Amino acid sequence: MKIKEICVKTGLTEKAVRYYVENGLCCPQEYESRERKYLNFTDENLKELKDIAVMRKLGLSIEDIRLMKTDGDSIEDVMSRYIRSLSEELDIKNRIFSSLASEDYSDMRSLDELMPKLADVLRPDPAAPDFSKFEKGFFDDGGESEFSDSSKRNRLARLGEIFITYATVIGTVMALTTLPGIIMFVVAALIFRKVRADYMTMYQLLSGIGFLSNAFAFIRATVSIGGISRLSEIFSGSVLDFTVVQCRLYLFISVAQLISLLILIFGRDIKEHF
| pLDDT at res. 55 | 93
Where among 78, 113, 145 does a domain terminate?
145
| pLDDT at res. 45 | 94
* 71 falls within a domain: no
**237 and 189 in a common domain:** yes
Where among 145, 171, 189 does a domain terminate?
145
* 70 falls within a domain: no
**130 and 156 in a common domain:** no
Determine phi and psi for 30, rounding to 5 degrees: -105, 140
pLDDT tens digits for 218-254? 888 777 777 666 666 666 655 566 777 777 788 888 8
* 52 falls within a domain: yes
Neighbours of 16 (CB within 10 A): 19
**Surface-to-core class of residue 130, CB atoms within 10 Å of its CB (0-12 exposed, 13-18 middle, 19+ buried):** exposed
**194 and 129 in a common domain:** no
**267 and 217 in a common domain:** yes
- Whether 12 and 1 have beta carbons less than 8 Å apart is answered as no
pLDDT tens digits for 39-58? 899 999 999 999 999 999 98
**172 and 186 in a common domain:** yes
Q: Compute the distance between CA of residue 27 and CA of residue 117 in angstroms, rounded to an integer.
A: 51
* 77 falls within a domain: no
**96 and 20 in a common domain:** no
- Its domain, for residue 32, covers 3-58
**235 and 197 in a common domain:** yes
* 72 falls within a domain: no
Where among 77, 111, 145 does a domain terminate?
145
Please indicate whether residue 267 or residue 102 has the higher confidence score (pLDDT).
102
What's the domain count of the chain?
3
| pLDDT at res. 220 | 81
Angle among Cα 109, 131, 144 to the nearest 5 degrees reads: 95
Q: Compute the distance between CA of residue 209 and CA of residue 172 in angstroms, rounded to an integer.
A: 9
**250 and 183 in a common domain:** yes
DSSP states of the chain as a string? Answer: --HHHHHHHH---HHHHHHHHHTTS---EEEEETTEEEEE--HHHHHHHHHHHHHHHHT--HHHHHHHHH-GGGHHHHHHHHHHHHHHHHHHHHHHHHHHHTS--TT--SHHHHHHHHHHHHS--TTS---GGGGGTTTS-STT--SS-HHHHHHHHHHHHHHHHHHHHHHHHHHTTSHHHHHHHHHHHHHHHHH---HHHHHHHHHHHHHHHHHHHHHHHHHHTTGGGGHHHHT-TT---HHHHHHHHHHHHHHHHHHHHHHHHH-SGGGGG-
Q: Compute the distance between CA of residue 175 and CA of residue 209 in angstroms, rounded to an integer.
A: 9
pLDDT tens digits for 96-132? 888 888 888 888 888 888 888 888 777 655 444 454 5
| pLDDT at res. 50 | 94
pTM over 0.85: no
- Whether 157 and 273 have beta carbons less than 8 Å apart is answered as yes
pLDDT tens digits for 73-88? 999 999 999 999 889 8
**176 and 230 in a common domain:** yes
**164 and 98 in a common domain:** no
* 246 falls within a domain: yes
* 18 falls within a domain: yes
* 73 falls within a domain: no
